[in-house]
Structure 1
Amino acid sequence: MHAALQKQLDAVHVKVTDVSGGCGSMFDVEVASPQFAGQSRVKQHRMVNAILKEEIKSMHGLTIRTMTPEQFQSK
């Protein structure tokens, strides 16, 4: 997941955390990408969902946090 998001979104920051207790069914994803600039939060999340489409099929839950590089720097 990490590599796909970083490559396809030219992300400056990607953090993928398994929050399911180790069974790999729930993940928290944080991504900062210049491609998110000017996009609505819904559009940003759709971009992430499209990249992770195959992985999402086997998940029970996914939390997505998206931001631009500028928003990440000021975090």
Structure 2
Amino acid sequence: MAMDARDIESLIKAALPDARIVIRDLAGDGDHYAAEVVSESFRGKNRVQQHQMVYAALKGNMGGVLHALALQTSAPE
């Protein structure tokens, strides 16, 4: 079962309410996405910590329902 881009965005928004999120379905199959997430919550954190925050927001769906997510994260400029 695939995961919808709106569901991914909703989960991330619930954990990072200020986030600006752009999600693209890379293969058209609902399993391979790219996400750009910009949030003030990332300020002062390294890239690994930022990605861990997004993975935590996905509540265990990463690697299961959501097969692949290419992440680009940053704090606002």
Please indicate, yes or no, whether the TM-score normalized by the shorter chain is above 0.5. yes
CA RMSD of aligned residues (A): 1.4
Residues 1:60 and 2:67 are matched in the alignment: yes
State the Cα distance separating 1:60 from its structure 2 match.
2.5
Aligned residues: 69
Query: How high is the sequence identity, in percent, across the aligned residues?
Result: 33
Structure in which a larger fraction of residues adopt helix? 1
SS of the residue corresponding to residue 11 of structure 1 reads: coil
Give how far 1:10 is off. 2.5
The separation in 2 between residues aligned to 1:4 and 1:15, in whole angstroms, is: 13
After superposition, what is the alpha-carbon deviation per residue over 1:4-48, rounded to whole angstroms, capped at 9, x for unaligned? 212311234101111122x21101011000000000100000000
1: CA distance, partners of 2:66 / 2:14: 22
Structure 1 length-normalised TM: 0.80
TM-score by length of 2: 0.78
Q: Which residue of 2 aligns with 1:2?
A: 9
